[in-house]
Amino acid sequence: MRTAKYGVGVRKRIDAIKQQRSEKYACPRCKKLSIRRQSSGIWKCKHCGLVIADNAYNLSSKVI
Ligand SMILES: [Zn+2]
């Protein structure tokens, strides 16, 4: 049985988080869109190798 415990609002939020965590982000050092989520809160630039510890599911804009 599919639970009705969580409404559509929560599902939409989860979808947004899933989308955010698979997105690429701009690197503050080399300015390339090469930052990908490594694991929870760990973000790494594939271009210059910069590793950032930040939010678990998205990169806060304060770094950029
Ligand atoms: Zn970089």
What pairs with residue 44 in β-bridges? 36, 51
Is 58 among the domain residues?
no
Enter the tokens of residue 43. 């973000």
Angstrom distances, CA of residue 11 to CA of 16, 40, 58, 63: 9, 20, 17, 28
Task: Please compute the mean of the pLDDT values over residues 55-64 and round it to a whole number.
Answer: 73
Kindly tell me the number of DSSP H helices and DSSP E strands found in the chain. Answer: 1, 3
Domain count, the chain: 1
Q: pTM of the prediction?
A: 0.72
From ligand 1's centre to the CA of 36, what distance in Å? 10
pLDDT digits (tens, 9 = 90+) for 38-51: 999 999 999 999 99
Is 3 among the domain residues?
no
pLDDT digits (tens, 9 = 90+) for 10-36: 889 999 989 888 889 999 999 999 999
From ligand 1's centre to the CA of 63, what distance in Å? 12
pLDDT at site 3: 67
Residues 6+ apart with CB under 8 A from 32: 26, 45, 47, 48
From ligand 1's centre to the CA of 31, what distance in Å? 6
From ligand 1's centre to the CA of 39, what distance in Å? 17
Q: Which domain holds residue 35?
A: 8-53
Task: Give the CATH number for residue 42.
Answer: 2.20.25.30
Confidence category of residue 6, pLDDT binned at 50, 70, 90: confident
From ligand 1's centre to the CA of 4, what distance in Å? 43
Enter the tokens of residue 63. 């770094």
